Amino acid sequence: MKILLAVVSMAIASYSFGQAEDSVQIRRIADEILTNSKAYDNLRHLTKQIGGRLAGSPGMVKAEKWAAVKMKEAGADITWLQQCQVPHWVRGGRDEAKVSYSNKGNITPKALDVVALGNSIGTGPKGTRGEVLLVESFDDLETKKNLIKGKIVFYNYKFNPTYVNTFLAYRDAGQYRGQGPSRAAKYGAVAVIVRSMSHSADNNPHTGATRYDSLYAKIPAVAVGLRDADWLSETLKKGKVNVQIRTNGHFLPDTIGHNIIGELKGTQFPDEIITIGGHLDSWDNCEGAHDDGAGCVQTMEVLRAFKAVGYQPKRTIRFVLFANEENGLKGGNKYADEAKAKNEKHLFAIESDAGGFTPRSLGFTVSDEQFEKVLRWKELIAPYGASEFVKGGGGADIGSLNKLLGTPMGSLNPDSQRYFDIHHARNDVFEAVNKRELELGAVNMAAIVYLIDKYGL
Amino acid sequence: MKILLAVVSMAIASYSFGQAEDSVQIRRIADEILTNSKAYDNLRHLTKQIGGRLAGSPGMVKAEKWAAVKMKEAGADITWLQQCQVPHWVRGGRDEAKVSYSNKGNITPKALDVVALGNSIGTGPKGTRGEVLLVESFDDLETKKNLIKGKIVFYNYKFNPTYVNTFLAYRDAGQYRGQGPSRAAKYGAVAVIVRSMSHSADNNPHTGATRYDSLYAKIPAVAVGLRDADWLSETLKKGKVNVQIRTNGHFLPDTIGHNIIGELKGTQFPDEIITIGGHLDSWDNCEGAHDDGAGCVQTMEVLRAFKAVGYQPKRTIRFVLFANEENGLKGGNKYADEAKAKNEKHLFAIESDAGGFTPRSLGFTVSDEQFEKVLRWKELIAPYGASEFVKGGGGADIGSLNKLLGTPMGSLNPDSQRYFDIHHARNDVFEAVNKRELELGAVNMAAIVYLIDKYGL
């Protein structure tokens, strides 16, 4: 009995000692980031000097070159570019939607603030003209299916403000952007206008990828700003509205993009890989500051901070800026394919792709047993913002790794209130990012990577 | 044994039923606020149409009139103005600090971005001129005390970036604004320049009240923007720098201000009062959007939402917009004095005065027993943002009530990362406030007031 007690108390002592040591190490990393971070300056360069960087664009090429240099500067043992074939959609010009409506008996013109949906086809130079049919939901679409032929369907589905986690509202409303064009085309619509996936107080339209169903005609599709959506909806209640839409979207031949990868080689288990990343591409109509410049500069900041405090990981840590998240996922797929082909052992992957806002939680798609294990670290990370550890989490780019190899994955979950004010819209700019919130995201990512590196999963 | 079990399970069932009912009621209030809130529009009016509203200013008078109307509109049973005598400090003109320094042998001029500290005296029209003495801390001041006579002391004490809770950095650095002028005057300084209490990335100077010690001469004092502070510090390392400061601050005779109070009369315990509030005054150099327009419109929003969902409180709830928090606390003191004089029974008071940012926690200055009780409600409120309940909390205005009557008090603690970017600076404007973050603050305040009203404390 005495021996058993001694063993137990030794175990407790060693656990406590470990926790204290980890607490000190995480504090050291946090202080380094909060005092000497390069994340904010890097983000300024990426957004202001390079700007939008959709797959295939000149911005993509510039961003890749810059990132490879910065990854090396941040202290990677080795840095490489992982080549992949990416789609090359171009907007092709200015998106327009001109309304004419009856205003006290006079036909009055008005321009709506619109942006073509990513991957959508253009109208051609003459544009597409039609009467607007207001549709509040897919159910509403079905009830109106006989009225749709030759019309422009306007999906005015609201972004639900009562979800405190705004990503739930996005998932709910996002189907109208993804499926809306084809579901309207099925009944003969000539074009689609979608209410922007946002609850912002401004009128900026929000783009994002649509997905055509090959069964139906591909029709032009734009997103409209919220004030104009409200105006259009009100005006349609009073009478007919015609819209002339002109967009110019089209695909050029696929081209070559790259994941930018930096690596710290593990000292004890070099074959076990932990991946941390964000995606380097962004939509073309913004600076891609929160989406996902933030995730990229945080990823490189974790690397820089590990080197700055002299942390030598036991396992191999890969810092990855993925290509083509927005309209193809070719970078993430390539990374997973190559991992599988090389029979790599991936222990864990984590992504930051929900904006550079103040951290609130870490999400984990892991086994119950693994979740129990990470939960023990919560008190070590909570002081830096991620005060909750939740089940579920990951990212679009690392999702391929999870699917193909079953790699456990996680996500940094920052506060979501401001994300859909700027997501895929022209106001996703450097100025919308707060330096400390951005840095704290890096701190929380660094902490969980440090712990998983040290203790495994 | 059977009976005991039955009692226990009944107790559990009744507790669960209560929790479920509360969960539904809080959800109802939250949905009302997130869908129909007037907080953002009210804040727009207060900041854009009225603007700065320091005690004694025309802005104060306009704000009081407007708030009394809005309080009634929000649904108060009765609304009244509680008169108090407030100080009337005026800036009196533009604050200036002109440097001349040796630049490659030439004496070169440069204007620093400064703002006079609140309650500070002006230099007079000719200004105050002196050589600048760099001081890094009060310890440093003591070592240099023989060098100070006739000089302008520049306190360059850094806002510590490693505190995750930025209010700790503010408490740490804030003493230089409060005590700095008198401690320098003690050794013969003619004026003081204080590094702004901020870690922002811009150059906006941050004001705030200073407190002269009556033992020493009152000397002019300004805060300087961070970039200029860094520049001045670097330049002083290379050689002498002279500064000409001109400020015009002075006190006019005390004047009359008012707390704006709305009340919902309790149906069961009308003599037990719960206070919820923010302060209506702001510094003159900004719109006072986060500090504390946010707290004011949140307070009125809680009232509006209670009425909108038909909630009839058991206890009397007072919605109070306090006067003169920034440079005198006369409103808070008056409220407490009158409560004491009338022998009112104050059950609890809560204040929102830390910005309209996303809620993170609720703080409580209550007995251990009371804290145990509120902790049981944590899971009811956590889904709306305040996922932690912490000991300690309150507010400057309700602090008087706590001191005088021992009233338990609490605070809404929003995320603190962005607060000191804008606090008391010209960029504390409407545009810096996010609609949903503001609304969620009201939701969390409403929830805790609802629970304390229902169950007591």
Q: Give the pLDDT confidence of A303-344 residue by residue, as tens digits.
A: 999 999 999 999 999 999 999 999 999 999 999 999 999 999
- What is the C-alpha to C-alpha distance for residues B398 and B395, in angstroms, rounded to an integer? 5
With a CB cutoff of 8 Å and minimum separation 6, the contacts of B231 are B110
Q: Do A383 and B31 touch (CB under 8 A)?
A: no
- What is the C-alpha to C-alpha distance for residues B295 and B359, in angstroms, rounded to an integer? 12
- What is the C-alpha to C-alpha distance for residues B149 and B130, in angstroms, rounded to an integer? 10
Tokens 């995320």 label which residue? B415
Residues of chain A with C-beta less than 8 angstroms from the C-beta of B421? 434
Other CB atoms within 10 A of residue B319 CB: 29
Give mean pLDDT, residues A422-427: 98
Give mean pLDDT, residues A335-363: 98
Q: Best interface-test mutation with B: which of A31, A43, A164 has the largest number of B CBs within 10 A?
A: A164
- What is the C-alpha to C-alpha distance for residues A308 and A327, in angstroms, rounded to an integer? 36
Tokens 């939250």 label which residue? B30
ipTM: 0.94
- What is the C-alpha to C-alpha distance for residues B226 and B156, in angstroms, rounded to an integer? 9
Q: What is the CATH number of domain A93-249?
A: 3.50.30.30
For residue B180, give the H/E element and its range: helix B166-185
Per DSSP, what are the bridge partners of residue A97? A112, A245
Domain span(s) for CATH 3.40.630.10 in chain A: 28-86+254-455
With a CB cutoff of 8 Å and minimum separation 6, the contacts of B159 are B169, B170, B172, B173, B195, B196, B197, B198, B199, B420
- What is the C-alpha to C-alpha distance for residues B454 and B447, in angstroms, rounded to an integer? 11
Per DSSP, what are the bridge partners of residue B263? B78, B318
Nearest to A434 among B383, B417, B436 (CB): B417
Task: Report residue A105's pLDDT band, with 50, 70 and 90 as the boundaries.
Answer: confident
Nearest in space to B281 (alpha carbons), one of B249, B250, B319, B321: B321
Q: Please give the interface size between A and B, counted as residue pairs whose CB atoms are below 8 Å apart.
A: 61
Predicted confidence at residue B11, as pLDDT, reads: 45
Nearest to A418 among B164, B417, B434 (CB): B434
Q: Do B164 and A383 touch (CB under 8 A)?
A: yes
Tally helices (H) and strands (E) across chain A.
13, 16
- What is the C-alpha to C-alpha distance for residues B120 and B311, in angstroms, rounded to an integer? 47
Per DSSP, what are the bridge partners of residue B89? B251
Nearest in space to A384 (alpha carbons), one of A319, A450, A431: A450
Helix pair B435-455, B2-36: axis angle to 10 deg: 150
Give the pLDDT of chain B (457 residues) as one tens digit per residue: 444 444 444 444 455 667 899 999 999 999 999 999 999 999 999 999 999 999 999 999 999 999 999 999 999 999 999 999 999 999 999 999 999 988 888 888 999 999 999 999 999 999 999 999 999 999 999 999 999 999 999 999 999 999 999 999 999 999 999 999 999 999 999 999 999 999 999 999 999 999 999 999 999 999 999 999 999 999 999 999 999 999 999 999 999 999 999 999 999 999 999 999 999 999 999 999 999 999 999 999 999 999 999 999 999 999 999 999 999 999 999 999 999 999 999 999 999 999 999 999 999 999 999 999 999 999 999 999 999 999 999 999 999 999 999 999 999 999 999 999 999 999 999 999 999 999 999 999 999 999 999 999 9
Domain A28-86+254-455 has CATH 3.40.630.10: yes
Per DSSP, what are the bridge partners of residue A350? A276, A410
Predicted confidence at residue B15, as pLDDT, reads: 53
Predicted confidence at residue A104, as pLDDT, reads: 84
The encoded tokens of residue A317 equal: 């840590």
pLDDT at A351 exceeding the cut of 60: yes
Q: Do A161 and B34 touch (CB under 8 A)?
A: yes
Domain span(s) for CATH 3.50.30.30 in chain A: 93-249
| B424 and B284 Cβ atoms separated by less than 8 Å | no
C-alpha of A427 from chain center: 15
Predicted confidence at residue A237, as pLDDT, reads: 94
| A225 and A113 Cβ atoms separated by less than 8 Å | yes
A334 by DSSP, 3-state: which?
helix
Domain span(s) for CATH 3.50.30.30 in chain B: 94-250
The encoded tokens of residue A183 equal: 């579901």
Domain span(s) for CATH 3.40.630.10 in chain B: 31-87+253-455
When the candidates are 2.40.160.20, 3.40.630.10, 3.30.2090.10, 3.30.950.10, the CATH number that belongs to B31-87+253-455 is: 3.40.630.10
Secondary-structure class of domain B94-250 per CATH: alpha beta
- What is the C-alpha to C-alpha distance for residues A323 and A326, in angstroms, rounded to an integer? 9
Would residue A235 be called left, alpha or beta, if left means φ above 0 and alpha means ψ between -120 and 50 degrees? alpha
Nearest to B35 among A30, A161, A164 (CB): A161
**In chain B, which residue's Cα lies nearest the Cα of A435?**
B201
